[in-house]
Each structure stands twice: as C-alpha cells, then as structure tokens.
Amino acid sequence: AAASGPAAPAILPPGVSAADFAGAIREFIAILGAENVLTDADHLAPYTKVMVAESEDLHRPAAVIMARTVEQVQKIMAVCNRVRVPIWPISTGRNFGYGSAAPQSAGQVILDLRHMNRILEVDPVLCTALVEPGVTYQQLKDYLVENNIPLWLSCPAPSAIAGPLGNTVDRGVGYTPYGEHFMMQCGMEVVLADGQVLRTGMGGVQNTNAWQVFKWGYGPYLDGIFTQSNYGVVTKMGMWLMPQPPVYKPFSIRYDKDEDIHDIVETLRPLRIAGVIPNAMVFANVMWEAAAIMPRSKYYQGTGTTPDHVLEEIKAKEGIGAWNVYAALYGTKEQVEVNWNIITGAIKASGKGRIITEEEAGETEPFKYRAKLMRGDMTLQEFGLYRWRGGGGSMWFAPVTVAKGSETKDQTELAKKILGEFGLDYVAEYIVGMRDMHHIIDVLFDRSNPEEMERAHACFAKLLSEFGKRGYAVYRVNTAFMDQTADLYGPVKRHVDQALKRALDPNGIIAPGKSGIRI
C-alpha cells in the first residue's frame, strides 16, 4: 500500500468496482478518521477468524470501519446507499459459535461499534440501564460495583468480554431470573438505512422519562423486528436489571443415568413455571461438565466420538453426573427457606437426584462458575469447551424444545445418533426458559483438519434437516446456515421478512444474508 492511502482490499463488495470502493473508503475516512478505517490484512485478520466449518474466504470482510457517534453512523448509511456497500454491524463482536465477528457473506464492510461504549444511564430506583453497543458486561458490572449500585446483570457464558446490546439483539440468553434477555429489554434507538433515527416504545415521545420502563409504547411494537434482523443499526438499548437479593442460594442436582433427563424435566418444570425456581436453570450433560474443566485427552487420546466407557470413567473419577442441574434461589431468608423445602421435597419424592449445596461444593469447578453465571458475574470458564477436542471449531446447534420429559429424550437420542455418525461428540445442556427449553449443543471440531471440518459441516446440515423433519428448529444459528434455518420457518415468514427488508432498506445495504434476509 502507498504510504499516503489505505491498503487496497483483498476482496471487494459484490458488484462494486475497485474505483467506487476506493471512493467509499475515502468517504469513510473523511467521516471517521483514517485510524477508524481498516483495510490491511493484519488489521482484518482478527475479524476474519471464524469458528464455523467453512473457509474464512466465504466470510472475509472487505474492510472494518469504527464509528463513535450516531451522526457518524447516519453519514455511513448515506455513503453505503450511494455506492451500494453492504455493512455488517457488530457491537462487542464475539458471537462465539454463531459466526464470530465475520459477516454472513464475503465482501461486506464490518461496522464495529466497540468504541460507542458509554453507559448512558443507570437508574438505581427503577433498576434500569441505557447502554451503547460497545458496552461490555464487565464494564457494566464494574460500573455498578464502583458506584455501589446493588443491581445484578444476566450474562451469557463468556460474560466478561461480550456485551448486553449485541447479545440481546441476537436474542441470546443467560442464567438468572432475567435470563431471557430480550424479555428484559426496554426501548431502543435504531439508525435506519435511510439515515433516520428511530426510538422505539416510549422513546419517540418528547421529554418522556418512561423510555426504559414501558416496553410497548403505542401502535405496532417494533423492537422485535430489530433483533436477529438487518433492518437497522441499533445504537442504544434500554434494559432492566435485577435487584440484588439479600440471600442467594445456588445449588446443583446430580443425576447418574442418561435416561434420567425425562424425570428431571418432569420434576422441575412445574417448579419453574410456578416461579419456585425463578432462574433459567440448566441441565448439563457429562461432556459439557467435563469440557468446562479439562481437555478430552486427559481420558481419551483417540479421534472420533468419545466412547461411552470413557464417559463412564469420567463420571466415576471426576464425580460428574450424566446430567447436572444448576438452579438457584433468590430472596429474603424466609422466601428462600420456603422454596428450598418445596424443591428438596420434590426431589426426594421423585426418588432420584442428589442435591449439592454451595457449602458442599466448596471451591470446586464447574459449580463455582455456574454459581457466578446464575448471579450474572463475570467468568470465562466455559471457554474450556473449545479445549475439549481442540482445533478451534464450534457451531452451536440449539433447537427449541417444549419443557416435557418425552421431548428431551427424543431430542437427546436423535442428536447423539447424528453426531455419532459423523464422529463428533454430544456436548449439551438444556437451558430452561419460561415454558420452552433451549437445547444447546456445541458441535466441536478441529478446524485445522480439513476432513474433520467437512464432516462437521455435513453433520450440522443433517442435524438441521433431521430435527426440522420432526418439527424442531433452532432459535439462532451461525452465519453458514442462516438460509437453511430460515427455510424451516416457512415461505410466508421468509416473504414477510423480505417485504420488511425492501421497505426499510431498499438497497439492501445492512447485513445482507442475516437470518436469510436479503432484498
């Protein structure tokens, strides 16, 4: 590259000439400053690293640009519309196992909002916050602690480095009573493709002070269409925070047999729906538990699916159950005591499961990090999963299931069978929502082994189609499988998604291909 100008990109946006793109880059520099417009290979490398089972070339960005203000985002939209440059907005840009920071298709310009990272407001009375895209959970946690504000967050597992806005707009989940993050979101600011700035809910009312407390506003409720979509760039998000309870009591229940999953669901679902167990509890299988604390090579040096006898050995030697429940109680001493008695009574009556309290678990993992997650604390312990087989490949396969024992048995058996056919492992947990469960399976593979990468890709495609045939679809998916997933939700849904896209972004400049949506 000439010292005077930015490096020529290795790849151009589809249909845009080199000269036009160079012109767009010059305009981006004029808006953002040269240090916020990245085109050389070294700077793009971290944005190109994917965990999906596909070549990086399929997701290679043409450039990365970093905005710091809403006005800059508006000006970027004008350039993109004129030159037809597609932009892929990211906030904290982690999205592990769902596509990382890289765009759905090659040649998009990543709009990285990490520097728009102001905590605009925390109201300790109403327990609300208003944040920008780049705010991380760690940053928000530190702010609450430093300012002595007794409010708790709800975070996904890589809590410290991800952020509430990116996670919530992709409809991620956490593990506290506020674990269904989009349910606890309230009010958004969105820059539309035409440069207008929309405030949802109460946000459009002049001088309102209710933006972060009343979700619905008036007329059609719009926040939902800006999640898992490409209809706008979200530049502010309101959220509800949980008051820190006087007593917090995390606990685990260990079950020895694979088939116990049926009774676990039947025993605990009524307690969850009735609010006796208030949080998004999880049921983690033996491999998830093991992977969080050690590499597979500790017990098995072979390739392919981990044999059952090895899993039995791990269970016995590490004291891990076939299924491991993590849940928690929150409230006053009296409230917690009453609910604790109900739960222990139900477990006893079921005749299965061994309860482990925080006192019994002591400082041991994985209990310790689970206890952190259920109070919205920072942890990176679950990165262990990526060490299990090694090689950096991870794609979450996350079908939605109803919270009934019979369903879990079917889904678990089907997933195990398909993963086994491809020599991969069933590393799974169920996260219990209000009435649904997210059956989260980490399809782990070695990206440095082309043959295994191909196998993982074929395996994921088969998981989607075989589950699809039985009426099971995923709630979120990585960038390699967005179209196949959109198809499962039916042609009318696809049509409406596209009609909205054409109305709001007629040139298709925002994140083409996100959730299978294009003009």
Catalytically active residues, by annotation: 98, 475-476
Which residue among 75, 94, 296, 476 contacts ligand ADP (CB under 6 A)?
A: 94
Least distance CB 114 / ligand ADP (angstroms): 8
- 235 three-class SS: strand
Q: Report strand pairing: 109-112 vs 87-90.
A: parallel
Are 226 and 188 in contact by the 8 Å Cβ rule? The answer is yes
Could you list the beta-strand ranges (E) of 127-200: 128-131, 151-152, 185-191, 197-199
Least distance CB 500 / ligand ADP (angstroms): 14
Looking at the Cβ atoms of 159 and 324, the one nearer to ligand ADP is 159
**Continuous segment of H or E residues that includes residue 284:** strand 282-285
Share in percent of the chain as helix, strand, coil (round to 5) = 40, 20, 40
Check binding of 463 to ligand ADP (CB under 6 A).
Answer: no
Q: Considering only residues 207-236, where is the footprint of ligand ADP by CB under 6 A?
A: 233-234
Least distance CB 261 / ligand ADP (angstroms): 28
Which residue among 141, 370, 514, 518 contacts ligand ADP (CB under 6 A)?
A: 514
Looking at the Cβ atoms of 169 and 432, the one nearer to ligand ADP is 169
Q: Considering only residues 48-67, where is the footprint of ligand ADP by CB under 6 A?
A: none
Check binding of 517 to ligand ADP (CB under 6 A).
Answer: no
Which residue among 25, 62, 90, 287 contacts ligand ADP (CB under 6 A)?
A: 90
Looking at the Cβ atoms of 85 and 322, the one nearer to ligand ADP is 85
Are 250 and 328 in contact by the 8 Å Cβ rule? The answer is yes
Least distance CB 347 / ligand ADP (angstroms): 35
Least distance CB 344 / ligand ADP (angstroms): 36
What is the x/- site pattern for ligand ADP, positions 150-189, by CB under 6 A? ------------xx-xxx-xx-------------------
Are 282 and 430 in contact by the 8 Å Cβ rule? The answer is yes
Check binding of 92 to ligand ADP (CB under 6 A).
Answer: yes
Looking at the Cβ atoms of 90 and 186, the one nearer to ligand ADP is 90
Least distance CB 49 / ligand ADP (angstroms): 13
- The neighbour count for residue 355, using CB atoms within 10 Å, is 15
Looking at the Cβ atoms of 155 and 459, the one nearer to ligand ADP is 155
Query: Interacting stretch for ligand ADP, rule CB under 6 A, among 61-69, 86-94, 139-147, 379-387?
Result: 86-94
Are 129 and 122 in contact by the 8 Å Cβ rule? The answer is yes
Looking at the Cβ atoms of 199 and 249, the one nearer to ligand ADP is 199
Least distance CB 312 / ligand ADP (angstroms): 35
Which residue among 72, 95, 381, 394 contacts ligand ADP (CB under 6 A)?
A: 95
Check binding of 113 to ligand ADP (CB under 6 A).
Answer: yes
- Please name which of 295, 258, 261, 500 lies closest in space to residue 390, comparing C-alpha atoms: 295
**Continuous segment of H or E residues that includes residue 439:** strand 436-446
Residue with the shortest CB distance to ligand ADP: 166
Q: Report strand pairing: 247-255 vs 323-331.
A: antiparallel
Looking at the Cβ atoms of 271 and 504, the one nearer to ligand ADP is 504
Residues 430, 398: Cα–Cα separation, whole Å? 9
Check binding of 476 to ligand ADP (CB under 6 A).
Answer: no
* Measured CA distances, 36 to 24, 192, 252 (Å): 14, 21, 47
Q: Phi and psi dihedrals of 302, rounded to 5?
A: -75, 180
DSSP state of 60: -
- 59 three-class SS: helix
DSSP string over 11-26:
S--TT--HHHHHHHHH
DSSP string over 478-510:
-GGGHHHHHHHT-HHHHHHHHHHHHHH-TT--B
Q: If DSSP states are collapsed to H, E and C, what string results for 71-110?
A: HHHHHHHHHHHHHCCCEEEECCCCCCCCCCCCCCCCCCEE
Looking at the Cβ atoms of 189 and 258, the one nearer to ligand ADP is 189
Query: Interacting stretch for ligand ADP, rule CB under 6 A, among 88-96, 264-272, 303-311, 443-451?
Result: 88-96
Least distance CB 30 / ligand ADP (angstroms): 23
Which residue among 61, 97, 107, 133 contacts ligand ADP (CB under 6 A)?
A: 133
Q: Is 466 exposed, middle or buried (0-12, 13-18, 19+ CB in 10 A)?
A: middle
Check binding of 86 to ligand ADP (CB under 6 A).
Answer: no
Check binding of 112 to ligand ADP (CB under 6 A).
Answer: no
Least distance CB 116 / ligand ADP (angstroms): 8
Number of residues that bind ligand ADP (CB under 6 A): 20
- 308 three-class SS: helix
Joined tokens for residue 179: 């674990």
Looking at the Cβ atoms of 38 and 113, the one nearer to ligand ADP is 113
Looking at the Cβ atoms of 91 and 411, the one nearer to ligand ADP is 91
Check binding of 269 to ligand ADP (CB under 6 A).
Answer: no
Are 428 and 440 in contact by the 8 Å Cβ rule? The answer is yes
Q: Report strand pairing: 109-112 vs 63-66.
A: parallel
What are the residues binding ligand ADP (CB under 6 A)? 89-95, 99, 113, 133, 162-163, 165-167, 169-170, 233-234, 514
